[in-house]
């Protein structure tokens, strides 16, 4: 009944009801459909999400931190930074995840201090959040807090391993001489991860090469590095170099984040058919929560090739909502869409809704679909 109420509120799209969605987040069992509805509402839900960050219920605050990151609400950075002082471990973890997703540069000093948190989940979340942000900015914050960084060198080096940049070199070299074994080992790991430490500097000139094949290879190599700087450069290439646009999209799909997904969704209408299909593939590879409602809307597109690609992309999401959408797509009038939906649904063979679809598709008029449905049913 709660999920039905969420669906009605989502369909009505009345801003006055968005606060009710946020207030309902105390019930963590319906967190997924609530997040889906809030993200679907977009900017209309921003005031309710921002207000929810100050809610009396910790579960509501956790939900709003997650929603703020999914929606890219820059104004949420301040309230989320305030949650780092909470006595609740889950709140501090959620706040760190949100700040990393929002690329909240102003919160970097507070996030860095979380490496000294008494709770291990918070320290791990801090490493992941800092590692997801612009490496040069994070490194600048670390070096400005040199004494703190040296005291917590193993975790600081883990951040550097995830988000490498040339400015870290002296710190890492110094760590190789540290008296602590765990620090020396961590420094060696950073060296190994940064073996081509100047990879970006080597590749960037090739991105302007006169030969398309050379530029495409450089784009592919750049997409192998989970670097914020590389991601931003790839986004710029996608906008300005039509000849490598498809390769740039594949690379963005490999290393993209929620912000990259929102950028691709915003520019989707501007492009021709081939690029739109590639954008759908990239959104599936990124699998950011913000993109799932967008992909769901594409299931109503009049063109079967768009619907089938959207189905494949939705199959990358392991959510209940994704399964429901895949089940619905198995009813599509176009066999290509039904086949794509069935293939994606095969990854969720244990779900009751999926089993029902397999049973129905065993009678599909297309032999290939019926045969695959029978195989999926046996596996279930």
- Eight-state DSSP code of residue 225: S
Res 73 pLDDT > 90: yes
Mean pLDDT of the chain: 91
Res 276 pLDDT > 70: yes
Task: Please say which residue of 57, 82, 117 terminates a domain.
Answer: 117
pLDDT average, residue stretch 72-100: 96
Between the ranges 191-200, 222-231, 329-338, where is the mean pLDDT highest?
A: 329-338
364: left (phi over 0), alpha (psi -120 to 50) or beta: beta
Residue 360 is assigned to a structural domain of this protein: yes
> Of 181-195, 212-226, 298-312, 342-356, which range is least confident?
181-195
Cα dihedral value 343, 344, 349, 351, nearest 10:
-140
pLDDT average, residue stretch 126-138: 94
pLDDT average, residue stretch 203-213: 85
Backbone angles phi, psi at 350, to 5 degrees: -85, -10
Residue 217 is assigned to a structural domain of this protein: no
Residue 274 is assigned to a structural domain of this protein: no
Res 222 pLDDT > 90: no
> Of 17-21, 49-53, 74-78, 347-351, which range is least confident?
347-351
Contact (CB, 8 A) for 187 and 176: yes
Tell whether 58 and 110 lie within a shared domain. yes
pLDDT at 319: 87
Res 138 pLDDT > 90: yes
- Per cent of the chain over pLDDT 70 is 98
Residue 315 belongs to a domain with what CATH number? Answer: 1.25.10.10
pLDDT average, residue stretch 7-32: 88
Task: Please say which residue of 117, 152, 187 terminates a domain.
Answer: 117
pLDDT at 148: 95
Res 191 pLDDT > 80: no
Res 335 pLDDT > 80: yes
Tell whether 169 and 141 lie within a shared domain. yes
> Of 40-49, 102-111, 216-225, which range is least confident?
216-225
Please state, in angstroms and rounded to a whole number, the distance separating the CA atoms of residues 380 and 363: 17
Please state, in angstroms and rounded to a whole number, the distance separating the CA atoms of residues 275 and 168: 37
pLDDT average, residue stretch 159-177: 88
Res 196 pLDDT > 60: no
**Which residues, at least 6 apart from 194, have a Cβ–Cβ distance to it below 8 Å?**
161, 164, 168, 172
Please state, in angstroms and rounded to a whole number, the distance separating the CA atoms of residues 297 and 40: 10
Tell whether 4 and 110 lie within a shared domain. yes
pLDDT at 225: 72
pLDDT at 199: 64
pLDDT at 198: 55
Please state, in angstroms and rounded to a whole number, the distance separating the CA atoms of residues 108 and 138: 7
**Which residues, at least 6 apart from 221, have a Cβ–Cβ distance to it below 8 Å?**
199, 203
Res 195 pLDDT > 70: no
pLDDT at 351: 86
Please state, in angstroms and rounded to a whole number, the distance separating the CA atoms of residues 228 and 372: 41
Res 158 pLDDT > 60: yes
Task: Please say which residue of 152, 180, 196 terminates a domain.
Answer: 196
Tell whether 5 and 107 lie within a shared domain. yes
Between the ranges 159-163, 217-221, 272-276, where is the mean pLDDT highest?
A: 272-276
Res 171 pLDDT > 90: yes
If pLDDT is split at 50, 70 and 90, which confidence band does 307 have? very high
pLDDT at 79: 96
If pLDDT is split at 50, 70 and 90, which confidence band does 194 have? low
- Eight-state DSSP code of residue 165: -
pLDDT at 190: 83
Please state, in angstroms and rounded to a whole number, the distance separating the CA atoms of residues 273 and 55: 44
Res 380 pLDDT > 80: no
Total structural domains within the chain? 3
If pLDDT is split at 50, 70 and 90, which confidence band does 350 have? confident
Question: What separation in angstroms does the CA of 249 have from each of 187, 228, 291?
Answer: 33, 15, 15
Helix (H) or strand (E) holding 159, with range, is helix 153-162
Res 203 pLDDT > 80: no
Contact (CB, 8 A) for 203 and 218: yes
Domain region containing 305: 289-380
Residue 242 is assigned to a structural domain of this protein: no
Residue 276 is assigned to a structural domain of this protein: no
At residue 84, the 3 state secondary structure works out as coil
């Amino acid at each position: 009944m709660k999920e039905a109420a969420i669906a009605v509120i989502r369909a009505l799209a009345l801003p006055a009801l968005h606060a009710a969605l946020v207030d309902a987040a105390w019930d963590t069992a319906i967190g997924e459909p609530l997040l889906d509805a809030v993200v679907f509402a977009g900017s209309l839900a921003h005031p309710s999400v921002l207000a929810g960050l100050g809610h009396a219920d910790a579960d509501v605050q956790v939900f709003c931190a997650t929603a703020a990151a999914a929606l890219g609400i820059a104004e949420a950075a301040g309230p989320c930074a305030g949650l780092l002082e909470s006595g609740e471990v889950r709140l501090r973890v959620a706040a760190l995840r949100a700040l990393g997703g929002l690329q909240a540069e102003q919160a970097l000093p507070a996030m860095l201090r979380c490496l000294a948190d008494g709770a291990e989940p918070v320290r791990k979340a801090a490493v992941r959040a800092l590692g997801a942000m612009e490496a040069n900015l994070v490194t600048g914050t670390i070096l400005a807090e040199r004494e703190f960084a040296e005291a917590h060198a193993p975790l600081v080096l883990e951040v550097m391993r995830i988000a490498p940049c040339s400015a870290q070199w002296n710190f890492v070299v110094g760590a190789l001489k540290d008296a602590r074994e765990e620090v020396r080992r961590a420094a060696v790991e950073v060296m190994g991860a940064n073996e081509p430490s100047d990879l970006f500097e080597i590749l960037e000139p090739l991105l302007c090469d006169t030969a398309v094949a050379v530029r495409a290879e450089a784009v592919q190599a750049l997409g192998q590095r989970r670097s914020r700087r590389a991601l931003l450069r790839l986004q710029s290439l996608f906008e300005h170099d039509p000849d490598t646009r498809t390769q740039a999209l594949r690379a963005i799909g490999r290393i993209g984040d929620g912000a990259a997904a929102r950028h691709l969704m915003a520019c989707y209408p501007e492009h021709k058919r081939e690029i739109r299909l590639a954008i759908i593939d990239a959104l599936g590879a990124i699998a950011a929560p913000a993109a799932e409602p967008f992909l769901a809307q594409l299931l109503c597109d009049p063109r079967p090739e768009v619907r089938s690609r959207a189905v494949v992309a939705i199959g990358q999401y392991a959510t209940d909502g994704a399964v429901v959408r895949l089940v619905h797509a198995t009813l599509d009038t176009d066999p290509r869409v039904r086949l794509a939906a069935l293939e994606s649904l095969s990854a969720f063979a244990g779900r009751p809704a999926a089993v029902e679809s397999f049973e129905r598709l065993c009678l599909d008029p297309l032999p290939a679909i019926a045969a695959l449905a029978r195989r999926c049913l046996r596996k279930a």
